[in-house]
Chain A
């Protein structure tokens, strides 16, 4: 394991007294790979990045970078590049001096330094503001300067702490398109922290779900979306959010299906539905203008346009509400529609433990 390139972290734990911020964190990232660290705020994402960078004095466990155990080294000896959520530019230095800092620390020659700064500035399109002080930069320029500073030293490990959090929506959208190219060019093992599921989908080769200081699942973004390990992950990962319905046992239903408000779903044979929660992603629900067999009647309550899709809030005759996401022009609010759901893509969870009832091949990590 130690001979492996890239980043390996083993049994990372951070505690302050009885307050355990992180427990038993294990993963490995290959050079050129991007791992998105995803979770709600206060779950320990930044603490984990700081532990890897060597900035967390209470961190236990091992950090290996390119086959070298750096656990005992200070942050200056780990050869990582890091971008902070609040940019953390040096306010008393120009953008150029900010970007020069990692090169100066390593004693890179003058000509080479200038050449590298020019190259990274061109890549990030900040050549024209290099001589400005950070307070004279827009948020977008600050964020690019911070990224340039993290990238300029060509670090083996790149730690990006929610770098798009504090920039406006347009720039966030642009950077979401641009960052994969930049990260591929950098060739570093990258950890990208975010709370935004779209960013996770757009940027992650793999996604690690961090909840309450423990990694609950590591997989490709698609696999996490389609096969979340728990109800909590299903809720977090996806927008519009997943529909969740507690199921009650059905009598005389032949044991081969379950229904919510008359909406019948073919599910596993030996599943009674007792103590289960059903998850339906909004896009697995299909709208029909007239009744089909198996379709159920619902009232359209509200419509929210979202990019090329529209998000609909529906109420079933039984009073259950659900969110559907469909393409094309929706009917008028208040009108009645007929819906069916894709049973193959429905998710079934155990209500007590929150764990998904496995069906199909799932790679999941549960600590």
Chain B
């Protein structure tokens, strides 16, 4: 009896571990392969069959950081570090602006019932599932007219389409989970509504705000098509800048791999740092809401 109990409990655990390993290999293998590729030259990468053992080289990273791409056809300027800086600036500024606009808006949608409130909230959400190409052509025409094309301000503005709905909806469901009585108690104590908002509502929704901010940052960082159309070389983020690796003399796999490693590092670091909040934010907020 006891033995069969042990087997009944042990078998699923073994199976679960096995399944987890399979899933991990499936998802991590491309990343590991890219990481290995980033330390190889183009010739080493293109060898058939591929070798697992090779002499690592830092030439890909050197080329990216110095901004000089050496190919068979000669040397090529590559503003990769600038692209990386653009990505960081655009994502951080967009998320900051979205938080500034989205958190008070989320609070209003959570706490007050007003005319067309649901419709406005849903319209904002619909920006997330409308295909970006639908708005890009008129947007680029408007931006040229307004002088916003190829400016950081213009890009940060457009990035609100990505960040604002995400932050609004996740933070809103967080605010809805908070009992309004806690804020009422603070008001009755003699504090203004603004203090109740900043001292009670925002700190209590803190994890949700952090998780939403992180998700928005990742989505903004990964955006490609807005920047492709609306920005030229000196304002481009890494996602667009990576196109430069497709050169006349072939595709620079080694540098692409190194560029990918460098460009996932900031979001990876952020995600690891905020992992606990992120999971909690997803399970409490977005999914439930």
Contacts and interface: CB of A to CB of B under 8 A. Distances in A.
Interface in B168-214: 179, 181-182, 184-193, 200, 203-204
Contacts of B189: 76, 101-102, 105, 149, 153
A41 to B, nearest CB: 16
A75 interface: yes
A112 B180 CA distance: 30
A55 interface: yes
A141 interface: no
Interface residues of A, number: 26
A284 interface: no
B200 to A, nearest CB: 6
A80 interface: yes
B182 A90 contact: yes
A84 B181 contact: yes
A76 B188 contact: yes
A204 B154 CA distance: 65
B190 A88 contact: no
Given A81-B188, A101-B191, A102-B190, A92 B181 contact: no
Contact of B184 (A75, A89, A105): A75
A88 B185 contact: yes
Nearest to B181: A88
Interface string A316-343: 0000000000000000000000000000
Given A84-B181, A86-B181, A88-B179, A53 B188 contact: yes
A108 B87 CA distance: 49
A74 interface: yes
B179 A76 contact: no
Contacts, number: 62
Contacts of A262: none
Contacts of B185: 82, 84, 88-90, 149
Contacts of B187: 54-55, 74-76
Contacts of A91: 182, 204
B174 to A, nearest CB: 14
B176 to A, nearest CB: 16
Given A55-B187, A90-B200, A91-B204, A76 B192 contact: yes
Contact of A86 (B179, B190, B203): B179
B261 to A, nearest CB: 39
Contacts of A78: 188
A74 B188 CA distance: 9
Main DSSP-derived SS at the B contact region: helix
B188 A90 contact: no
Contacts of A53: 184, 188
Interface string A64-96: 000000000011111111101010111110000
A92 B205 CA distance: 11
A106 interface: yes
Contacts of A54: 187-188
Contacts of B182: 88-91
Interface string B77-89: 0000000000000
A201 to B, nearest CB: 27
A91 B191 CA distance: 17
B71 to A, nearest CB: 57
Interface in B246-277: none
A50 interface: yes
A84 B193 CA distance: 18
Interface in B40-58: none
B30 to A, nearest CB: 42
A211 to B, nearest CB: 24
Given A88-B179, A90-B186, A92-B204, A105 B191 contact: yes
B188 A55 contact: yes
In order of increasing CB-CB distance, the 5 nearest A-B pairs are A105-B190, A88-B181, A102-B189, A75-B187, A88-B185
Interface of A: 50, 53-55, 74-82, 84, 86, 88-92, 101-102, 105-106, 149, 153
Interface of B: 179, 181-182, 184-193, 200, 203-204
Given A75-B187, A91-B182, 11 more contacts: A53-B184, A54-B187, A54-B188, A74-B192, A82-B184, A84-B181, A90-B185, A90-B186, A102-B190, A149-B189, A153-B189
